[in-house]
Structures are given as structure tokens and as C-alpha cells.
Chain A
Amino acid sequence: MDIFLNLLSWVLLSAGGVFVLIGGIGALRMPNLYTRMHAASVTDTMGAVLVLTGVMVQAGLTLATIKLGAILIFLLITSPTASYALASAALLAGIKPDAGQAADRTRGS
């Protein structure tokens, strides 16, 4: 039972790490602001859920698990709101959600 829980938390934590890495690479490589935010939001959702669930499995049935669950709920509520605020501020500032060369190709055809 113990080894099963440890294995589960290892898998969850590594998967969370992989998603954070994907989000980081995406935030660097994407062409414009909106696609970068979309990539970074992978970190806030999948990365956070998997990492915090992995740590909750490690903590077992203690008070710490409930606190971690509260942190997870808080993160899941606030980070999409922050992305929305950032995107609407960018739209107000005049940055257009232009897809770059892909849009030019479809416009031409």
C-alpha cells in the first residue's frame, strides 16, 4: 500500500513537472501574446493540479491535505481570472490577436 502511494505521487509529480516544462517552452516559443498566454495557462491548470495532487498523496490524511486542497481550489479560481484580465487589458491596449503568417496564408487563398 505504501509503495503504491509513493509510486502514484511520483507519477503525478513527474507529470506535473512535464506540463510545467511544456508551458514554459510554449511561453517562450509562441509567436504573439495571446498564444503565449494560452501556453502559460497550461502551467496554472494541469501543472498545478498534478503537482498539488501528488503532494496531497504524499501528505496522507492530515490537516495538510485539506490546506493543499484549499490552495488548489484558490489557484484554479484565480489564475484563469488573471489570464482573462491580462488578455482583456492587452486587447484594450490594441494588441491584435493576429496569428501571423498562418492568417496571411488563409487570407490569400
Chain B
Amino acid sequence: MTVLFGIFLLTLLVITAVAIVQTRNLFVAVMLLGIFSLLIALNFFILDAADVALTEAAVGAGISTVLFLGALALTSERERLGTQHRWLSLVVVTSATLVVLYATFDKPLFGDPGAPVHQHVAPWYLEKTPEYIDIPNVVTAVLGSFRGYDTLGEVFVVFTAGIGVMFLLSAHSGGANRRKQEASGIGLREHLIPRVVGRLLVPFILLFGLYVQFHGDYGPGGGFQAGALIAAAFILYALVEGEERTLAALPQSWLNALMVSGALLYGGVGLAGIVLGSSFLDYSVLSADPIAGQHLGIILIEAGVGMTVTGVLLSIFHAFAARDQA
């Protein structure tokens, strides 16, 4: 039965992807991209990747759709001319597909426990997590502690993207028009139902974001998902009440502080390892008991990740939303 369900979901994915590429209306393409992200998140969940499914649903289906719609509002909504070099591209793409399809026959069998990827490193992580770190979620243990250096790089990539977008879009063209636009009822202020429901939901979404942040040790969750959820709560408020009131609630200076302090917190925990006599990003020396030190280190860096991701996603949203329409 799960075989049938898996085949059905994968077929839906392909149909959605073809529809995304074929449609000339970019608004439709972005909405279908949201559906595509949700379908692939379902697929990840069936393949036992709960953390990845949560991240894909929150980031891919939620934040990515909002960013694309923000960019579409500032550019055009329809593709004017469709395709260039259609036949040459089709030939190249078809031959590349055939090559990759030929290569799939040499891949390891689906679910084979003897496949090369399941030897050496992964069993070591699964075995040593209770001994060194002692938290139930192995993915968070590997992400936060065993491979903490990679996650540090990821936090800095997110931070760089944030400041990159702010550099690109922060020089306002025509700030005076913006003031007039705010007064004319931006947001959904005159629609009562979305306004009431949106304002009712925002505290619960924030609460859920905090729950996901702190439960990353015990179940699927962690800093990235929590950052995306908290940013989504503020984006909902901005869509309902208008961007100016959201900036009054959480000003840009606080967002800058969140971005920077998240990355600094992560780096600081790493340096604290050096100061206390061990190597960079070694959490065992943060406390008297090495396992308690690991717990403390993972909570601190997940908090740093959550802060940076929230700050960056909200700054990017405000950069797109505040841009004057050409």
C-alpha cells in the first residue's frame, strides 16, 4: 500500500513540475511551486526524514512563496516571450535524461541496509550519540555537535544572503511615494475577517515557533524551522496590518541586532571552547560534566541559528515589501 502511495506522490510531483515550467503566468507558477514543495515535504516524511520534511514545508512552501510573490509584485506577472532555442534545449535535456536514467540502474537498491552510504560513518553516529551527547534526536546531535562547523558555515551563508539583499534593495527609489501609499490602506485593514483571524493566530504561531526551537533535541525541530516559523508569524502580521505597523512592532534595528547576535553567539560558543582549554566548537568543556556541556552548547547554537534565520528572513521580506513599485 505504501508502494502505491509513494508512486502516486512521485507522479504528482512530475506533473506539477511540468505544469510549473509550461505555464506563462508567473503567479500560477509560484503557487504551483508552493504545492510542489508541500508534495516533496510529504515524500520526505514517507522516507523517514522528519526534520527535513518540516524544514522543506516551512521554508520551501512558506517563505519561498512569499519571497517570490514579493519579487513578482515588483516585476511583471506574465512571461512575455516563452522559450528560446526550444529544439536544441529539448535535444540536450532528453539526452541528459537518458544518461542519468541509464546511471540509475547502477544505484544501490532502495532501502538496502548494506548500501555503501549506510556503512562506517552513520552507524558510528547512531551508536555514539547516547554516549557523547545523549539527546534523542540524532539529526540534531549530528547537525549541532558532530558537524557543528558545517552548521556554522551555513549560519554565515544565511547572514551573507541577508546583508546581500539589504545592500541590493535598501537604497529607496522615491521614498516620498511610499509615505502616501501607507496612508491609503495598505495591507488588509479594511477586511475584517482576515484581520481578526490573522491577529488571533500570530501569538499561537510564535508559541509554536518557540516550541519547535526548544524541542529540536527531542523530536523534529531546531533553529532553522523555528526561525522560519517566527518570521512567518511576523510576515502574516505585516500582510494583515501593513508593513509600517510591523516595523513599529519589530524595528529594523532589532532585526539587524538579531541577525548579528545570532551569528556572534554561534562563533562565541566556538571560541569559548578555545578559551576554556579545548578546541574550537568543542562543547564538552562548557560545563563540569561533558554531556551537560554538550546539551548547553547545542541549546546555545540552536538559539543562535534561530535568531539569525528570523532576522534574515524578516529583513529580506521588509526589503522586498518596502521597495517602491516602478
Say which one of B92-100, B192-200, B310-318 lies at the interface with A.
B192-200
CB-CB nearest in chain A for B205: A74
- Size range of the chain A interface in the assembly: under 10
**Chain B, interface SS category:** helix
Number of residues of chain B lying within 8 A (CB) of chain A: 9
CB of B201 within 8 A of chain A? yes
Chain A 52-109 interface residues, beta-carbon cutoff 8 Å to B = 74, 77-78, 81, 84-85, 88
CB of B120 within 8 A of chain A? no
CB of B179 within 8 A of chain A? no
Q: Which residues of A contact B107 (CB under 8 A)?
A: none
| Separation of A81 and B236 alpha carbons in the complex (Å) | 13
Contact yes or no, A78 B191, CB < 8 A: no
Contact yes or no, A84 B193, CB < 8 A: yes
Contact yes or no, B200 A85, CB < 8 A: no
Contact yes or no, B197 A77, CB < 8 A: yes
Contact yes or no, A85 B191, CB < 8 A: yes
| Separation of A84 and B193 alpha carbons in the complex (Å) | 8
**Chain A, interface SS category:** helix
Contact yes or no, A78 B193, CB < 8 A: no
Provide the B93-135 mask, 1 if CB < 8 A to any CB of A, else 0: 0000000000000000000000000000000000000000000
Q: B208 CB to closest chain A CB, in angstroms? A: 9
Q: Which residues of A contact B198 (CB under 8 A)?
A: 81
Contact yes or no, A84 B200, CB < 8 A: no
Contact yes or no, A85 B201, CB < 8 A: no
| Separation of A78 and B200 alpha carbons in the complex (Å) | 10
CB-CB nearest in chain B for A84: B193
Q: A24 CB to closest chain B CB, in angstroms? A: 13
Could you write out 14 A-B pairs with CB less than 8 Å apart? A74-B201, A74-B204, A77-B200, A77-B201, A78-B201, A81-B193, A81-B194, A81-B198, A84-B191, A84-B193, A85-B191, A85-B193, A85-B194, A88-B191
Residues of B at the A interface (CB closer than 8 Å) are 188, 191, 193-194, 197-198, 200-201, 204
Residues of A at the B interface (CB closer than 8 Å) are 74, 77-78, 81, 84-85, 88
